[in-house]
Structure 1
């Protein structure tokens, strides 16, 4: 029942945006979705299964956004602009979606479903922050070849620093990434008084 599953996930997302996960009731999710409680249990096996599905859905949406930033519609943008778009998407999505923020940072709290103990697909290891960063890095490196994978990872990690410690003006990394037109290997900042000319 793909339509019922989608309705249940939308209803659960709405419930989670209004209440902490422990306060989300399966009977209410089923009622909002317009299906029976038994249908919910048939689809997800219970509240823990529904929570895992919400986490997988959040990760999939985040990675879909990464793919869109890496392959924008129309004429292809320079690699630097696409990397900046990945960084901006990461910050925006992590700020707007608590599940994405938890997946990227590993900071889970009692208001969210339990952290994943298995991967996005059967047989995969759990998708934690390190695995998610590697996934984004590898997708960026593949889409932007011959851009080095280390540069792609650096951009993702810079974006994560804004998720964990936002700037005073909350501008995000877009203004600070001098990537437009920068050649590979160009430093992200110039010498400073403590680093000297290292």
Structure 2
């Protein structure tokens, strides 16, 4: 990513958090950054591409937490999963951008919420790819399509708790770890 792209995404995230997606315009971003509106368009594309870029940049923060948890538990896949889930859910709890997107009122002008709820292909693919890479160093009894199914189930379950938590991060991590133990046994 270029420094300008980083700055655009940072300003966009702050605007979304403070005022909502409807406050984000290319002209406003250009003014905030001291560049032309065309420069913003050249860097991130139109507003739908900007929405996707913001979501993917935030996803990258979450996936960094996942990778770190697996790195911290190289000999125990279940503890790595427990730590990854707990850390992701703790990050989600305090994530102002995520809360601003999820709590958008019905009918609000937002292109962000569908990226997290109904049009999740890119998000899910990225998350599953990271988890799959993290699991490669463990001796698992599952492989191939069965492992892909287990990863899909776990990632979708955790994403649902990111969007709508039903328990504490620790309790949810324990539950996901129990399920992962059954799936990966």
Q: TM-score, normalised by structure 2?
A: 0.65
Report the structure, 1 or 2, having the larger helix content: 2
Match of 1:135 in 2: 129
Distance 1:28 1:84 in 2: 42
Distance 1:45 1:157 in 2: 29
Match of 2:158 in 1: 159
**Is the Cα–Cα contact under 8 Å of residues 71 and 143 in structure 1 kept in the other structure?**
no
**Is the Cα–Cα contact under 8 Å of residues 82 and 174 in structure 2 kept in the other structure?**
no
List, as ranges, runs of 4+ consecutive aligned residues in structure 1 with deviation greater than 6 Å. Answer: none
Within 5 Å, which residues of 2 pair with 1:1-198? 2-72=2-72, 76=74, 78-95=76-93, 96=95, 97-98=97-98, 110=108, 112-114=110-112, 115=114, 126-127=121-122, 129=124, 131=125, 134-146=128-140, 148=142, 149=147, 155-160=154-159, 162-163=161-162, 164-167=164-167, 172-176=171-175, 185=182
Larger mean CA deviation between 45-54 and 139-148 belongs to 139-148
**Is the Cα–Cα contact under 8 Å of residues 137 and 153 in structure 1 kept in the other structure?**
no
Structure 1 unaligned residues grouped into runs of 5+? 103-107, 117-124, 188-198
**Is the Cα–Cα contact under 8 Å of residues 20 and 110 in structure 1 kept in the other structure?**
no
Q: TM-score, normalised by structure 1?
A: 0.62
Name the Cα RMSD after superposition: 3.9
Between structure 1 and structure 2, the one with the greater Rg is 1
Cα-to-partner distance string for 1:126-171 (whole Å, 9 max, x where unaligned): 4254x4564354234324332643665555455345333412x675
> CA shift at 1:17, angstroms?
1.0
**Is the Cα–Cα contact under 8 Å of residues 66 and 87 in structure 2 kept in the other structure?**
yes
Aligned residue pairs total 167
Higher relative contact order (CA 8 A, sep 6+): 2
